[in-house]
Structure 1
C-alpha cells in the first residue's frame, strides 16, 4: 500500500468530495449504527481530511481518526485541531487504548488487494477492539460493479466547491479475475474537461468483493455479523457490514 494521496491530490480530493458526499448525512448514517451498540470510544479508519471527524467532535464523542496518507492527516488536523489523528496502516496498527467501535469509511477496503491484506486487517481490528466491540465498514459490490464498468469504460463525476467546478474522468480495467482486481486511472480537471489543463492524475489498483467473500473472512476471524445494509453511494453500489467481536 502506497501513500495514496500526495499533497496536491489530498487538496483536490477534499474539494471534490465536499460536493460528492453530504457529510451530515454520512455522519448520521454511521452514528445511528454506532449508537445501537453505545460505544464509549470510536476509531475511524480512512478518516481522510477529517470531514466526518468534525461531526463526531462537535457532538463531544470520544473519537480518533487513522489514515495512511500524511497529506490527508495534515488537512484533517487543521480542520479539527483538538482531535487525535494517527498515521497508520489498517493492516498493522496498535492502539494504546483499545476501542469499543472501529469504522472503516469511504470504501477504504478497496485497497486491500490480497487475501493476506484482508486477513491482516481483520486480525488487527479484532486485536484493537474491546470485548464485544463492533466494526462497521463498507465495500464495493463486485456483482454489480463489474458489469457496470464493462458497459461504461469511462465514468465522469462532477463537483462544485468554492465557485469552481471539478471533474473527474475515470477509466477502469479488470486486471485479475481471481480476486476481482481493477486498475483505476483518473484525470482531474478544473472548470472544464480539457486535456491540456489536467490538474492531477491518479492511478490506483483496487479490489471489489462479493458479499459471500466478506462473510467468510469475518467468520474466519471471529466476527459475528449483526447487520448487512445494501447502500448506494454517489458512484458505487456498496454493502455496509456491522459485525461484533466474538470471545
Structure 2
C-alpha cells in the first residue's frame, strides 16, 4: 500500500475535501445504519483528518479512528482532543478489544490492490468484530467508473476553503491487469486571480470493484451482505455495503 497523504498532502487533502464531501450527510448515513443494527462501539478505518470523527465524538459515540497516514492522524488528534486515533494498516491490525461495528470510509477500499490485500483486510476486520458485528464500507463501481474515465480522462475539481482557491487536475488511465485497476495522477494548485501556482502532485494505483466480486470476497471471509445502497457521491458512483459477521 502506498504511503498515502503524508506531509503537506494531508493538509491539502483536508482543505479540498471540506468542500467536496458533505460530512454531515456522511455522518447521518453511517450513524443511522449503526443505530439500525444496535451498534454501541465503532472503529472507522480511513478516518483521515477526523472530519467524521468530530461528528461521532460530538454525539458521544464510543469511537476509534484508524488511518495509514501519520500526518492525517496528527491533524485528527489536533481537531479532536478527546478522540482515540491509531496509525495502522487495515490489512493487519489488532484492537485492545473487539467492537460492534467497523466502517471503511472515503472509498479507502480502492487502495487494496491485490486479492491478498482484500482477504487480509477482511480477516483482520473479522478478528476485531464482536460476534454478529457489522461491517460497513463503500466501493467505487467498476461497471460505471471505468467507462466514465475512458470518456473523461481528465477531471477537474475546484474548492474554496479558508480564503484559498484550490484546483486539482486529475488524470485517469486504465491498466490492463488481472484486476480492475487505474493509475491516477493529480496536480494540485492554488489560484490567485489569473495566476495558478502548483503546490503538490500525487500518483496512486487504485482498484475499483464490481459488486459481484466484492460479494464473493465477503462470503469467503465469513461475512454475509445484509444491505446494499447504490449511492452517488461527489465524483463517483459507489455502493455502500452492510455485512454481518457470521
Sort the TM-score into its range (normalised by shorter chain).
over 0.9
Equivalences for 1:100-115 in 2 at 5 Å?
A: 100-115=100-115
CA distance in 1, matches of 2:195, 2:101: 44
In structure 1, the residue matched to 2:225 is 225
- CA deviation digits over 1:151-188, x for unaligned, max 9? 11100011110111111100011123420111000000
For normalisation by structure 1, the TM-score amounts to 0.97
Give the unaligned 5+ runs of structure 2: none
CA distance in 1, matches of 2:16, 2:124: 31
RMSD over equivalenced CA pairs, Å: 1.3
Tell me whether 1:138 sits opposite 2:110 in the alignment. no
In structure 2, the residue matched to 1:52 is 52
- Displacement of 1:38: 1.3
Cα 1:144–1:30 change in 2 (3 A) is: same
Cα 1:9–1:226 change in 2 (3 A) is: same
For normalisation by structure 2, the TM-score amounts to 0.97
CA distance in 1, matches of 2:5, 2:195: 21
CA distance in 2, matches of 1:240, 1:121: 17
CA distance in 2, matches of 1:136, 1:83: 21
Tell me whether 1:88 sits opposite 2:113 in the alignment. no
Is contact 1:167-1:193 (8 Å) kept? no
In structure 2, the residue matched to 1:180 is 180
Question: What secondary structure sits across from 1:176 in the alignment?
Answer: coil
CA distance in 2, matches of 1:134, 1:157: 34
- CA deviation digits over 1:56-111, x for unaligned, max 9? 00000100000000000000000001100001100000011111000000000000
Give the paired residue count: 246
CA distance in 1, matches of 2:98, 2:160: 39
Cα 1:238–1:193 change in 2 (3 A) is: farther
CA distance in 2, matches of 1:100, 1:176: 39
In structure 2, the residue matched to 1:237 is 237
Give the unaligned 5+ runs of structure 1: none
In structure 2, the residue matched to 1:150 is 150
